[in-house]
Structure 1
Amino acid sequence: MTQSTANFKVGNEKLIKVLDGASSHLRGLLEKQGRPDGALRIAVIGGGCSGLQYKMDLVDGPRDRDILVPSNAVNVVIDPKSALFVSGSELDYSDDLQQGGFKVTNPNAVVTCSCGESFSA
């Protein structure tokens, strides 16, 4: 059985940088799912209280036209359209009870909401 390879680009941490907390948590999640070579997909979609929001999923790897960013021993994949919005961002993880989870710190966000999951660029 042959597996087709995706036609993707490799980016660097100028696009998104994964901080220690996020790297450690992401590696644990991927191990639990049995896909240690997997990646976190970050997409920017319309919605949220400020107009745009982040959508994150664990995936096996990049798809066609994706940008793969290896950072801090994990892989992040982003589609080209979303990459325009997240360039220069940092991904962190918080286990805070109310505001916990993966958080993107985005220097392009002009307006953010208090939940940290929605922004306007």
Structure 2
Amino acid sequence: MATVKYTVGNEKLVKVLDGASSHLRSLLEKQGREQGALKIAVVGGGCSGLQYQMDLVDGPRDRDVLVESNGVKVVIDPKSALFVSGSELDYSDDLQQGGFKVQNPNALVTCSCGESFAA
């Protein structure tokens, strides 16, 4: 089995707030992946040009950045790390706009739905 070469980051890259860590822990436990992580990627799309894509993963892949914050793990690919540096991850259970939310200081423009941004 090949060794995965990843970088360890810190909360200067992304900080996980209480609501997000609690919900993420719950999701990972339900799937039997207590050692898993939330992968955050920035991809093209959305009404402002860029949007977040999030998935549960077992761990980092080659070249990813692994951040442990508030008792949970977040994995970010190096390209996306440029866009999310300094962000906070929160969770809202609002019926219409609930889910994980990235509060990104690098977003110059955000759309009204809060799902996409421009940097």
TM-score by length of 1: 0.97
SS at 2:106's partner residue? Answer: coil
Q: What residue number does 1:21 align with?
A: 19
After superposition, residues 31-110 of structure 1 pair within 5 angstroms as 31-110=29-108
1:5 and 1:26 map into 2 onto residues whose CA distance is 26
Identity across the alignment (%) = 83
**Which portions of structure 1, spanning 4 or more consecutive aligned residues, are displaced by more than 3 angstroms?**
none
Q: 1:115 Cα shift?
A: 1.3
Equivalent residue letter for 2:18: D
Q: 1:5 Cα shift?
A: 2.6
Equivalenced residues, count? 119
Name the Cα RMSD after superposition: 0.6
Q: 1:53 Cα shift?
A: 0.2
After superposition, residues 3-22 of structure 1 pair within 5 angstroms as 3-22=1-20
TM-score by length of 2: 0.98
For 1:61-93, what per-residue CA distance to the aligned partner results, in whole angstroms no more than 9, with x for missing partners? Answer: 000000000000000000000000000000000
Q: Which ranges of structure 1 fall in alignment gaps of 5 or more residues? A: none
1:75 and 1:115 map into 2 onto residues whose CA distance is 26
Q: 1:116 Cα shift?
A: 1.1
